[in-house]
Amino acid sequence: MNFISTRGDTPALGFSDAVATGLAPDGGLFLPETLPQFSSDELKALAGLDYPALCTAFFRRFATDIDEATFAAIVAKSYTSFTHPEIAPLVPLADNLQVLELFHGPTLAFKDFALQLLGNLYEHQCAARGQTINVLGATSGDTGAAAIHGLLGKPGTAIFILYPDGRVAPLQERQMTCTGADNVYTMAIEGSFDDAQTALKDIFADQTFRLHHRLSAVNSINLARVLAQCVYYLSAWLRLPTAQQENVEFVVPTGNFGNVLAGWMLQNMGVPIRGFKVATNQNDILYRLFTTGEYKVDQVAPSLAPSMDIQVASNFERFLYFALGRDPSRVREVMTTFKATGEYRFESFDRSTFSASRCSDAEIPGIIKSVYERFGYVADPHTACAFAAPDSDRHSVVLATAHPAKFPDTLRAAIGVDPRHPSLEALKSRPIVKHPVAASADAIRAFIEARAV
């Protein structure tokens, strides 16, 4: 299978090259040339597979340039560090409500599902091609830690992570800055995640620099991340009773749109999911989009759910490509307008598949308390946003995106519980190593130049 850019000015690439490239040279995002379709018989055949086998079977539609045995070994290695035997367990809370727990990986966040796999794909590519690779990412919290732990100590790799200084949870910062690994560089910038992401895209647009340093993207702009996230939706859907499969809505805390885009892409591959609810915090650009049709940047307001403190959702461009009839010229037009004005209004916008909810900081502690009192379930602040407005006429599966132990202050204030996890406790005695860097492409480029492998 080949992969094409949303903006249409990059030659189609195979899977491995699209993964290694990350952001398309024309500034667009890679997508499959066509979305494969799963028949009902094919879905039934997948139902009995464990998680690694299901992931391998799913990716056989996409990673056609890696032989099946090699890819199966890469996948198997990627999920050995998950602590729950089901990898992504479904936890029932009520007759019409379940939680899909996505925090049993090494950094206790849903990003591990994709980034453990991506790290092992990078390692395979370095060995197979005899080349080094430098990986660059920006994070609002969980992506950085998961990306770092996917590449810790891997030969031939260096990883550079940008994050907004003082705007991630303290334990999230420690997961990034206390690894002690020689191939990890965490860059603390002044400003917001959006500032970091803008600088990152500017660097990837510098083709001479990107090619010279074999630079690859680890954010969800990387195609492999979105595809890997499709698998946990498929795993959950296959485990639902038939009646629930036909009426399920996945409720997804999201800021950068990659998490919910993965489910939507799976739906468009023939898996009959009824719909998706986009759950935002007070940085509600996606809520405003799906309720008004207007995509308009506002100021980022630091929140109790910091991983969603985003105003420019980079994965929205992939959705836009499909919404505009797969017309790259229209995508270029819209993205040019959006970059110049910070807004775009859709004249006609199909919202039949998506609904949305918004949750302010003032509401999050109360929701955490309500969920705890009603179900005895401890939800982190991001997952709490997904409980803001459930639909009683649908079977809801809430995606629990992070372990509550990553946000102890909020949990103590809300329910008097002090959640702990041994991997986080071990970090508290380790020194923080971070590098203050200006949020400019030039400063970041110079930092990478001095340390790239």
Q: Is the Cβ–Cβ distance between 230 and 262 less than 8 Å?
A: yes
Report the distance separating Cα 112 and Cα 140, nearest Å.
15
Q: Is the Cβ–Cβ distance between 361 and 371 less than 8 Å?
A: no
Neighbours of 94 (CB within 10 A): 10
Query: Of 247, 193, 217, 226, whose CA–CA distance to 319 is shortest?
Result: 226
- The DSSP bridge partners found for residue 277 are 251, 355
Q: Is the Cβ–Cβ distance between 158 and 451 less than 8 Å?
A: yes
Q: Which helix (H) or strand (E) holds 237?
A: helix 223-239
Please give the structure tokens belonging to residue 61. 């539609």
Report the distance separating Cα 178 and Cα 175, nearest Å.
6
Neighbours of 447 (CB within 10 A): 17
Written as one letter, the residue type at 10 is T
Q: Which helix (H) or strand (E) holds 138?
A: strand 133-138
Using DSSP's 3-state secondary structure scheme, residue 34 falls into coil
**Which residues contact residue 112 at a Cβ distance below 8 angstroms, ignoring those fewer than 6 apart?**
81, 82, 105, 106, 146, 149, 150
Torsion 2-6-8-10 (CA) sign:
negative
Neighbours of 426 (CB within 10 A): 11
Q: Which residues are catalytic?
A: 111
Locus of tokens 């990059």: 10
Q: Is the Cβ–Cβ distance between 38 and 59 less than 8 Å?
A: no
Q: What is the phi-psi region of residue 50: left when phi exceeds 0, alpha when psi lies from -120 to 50, beta otherwise? A: beta
Report the distance separating Cα 123 and Cα 263, nearest Å.
27
Using DSSP's 3-state secondary structure scheme, residue 20 falls into helix
Q: What values do phi and psi take at 109, rounded to 5?
A: -150, 160
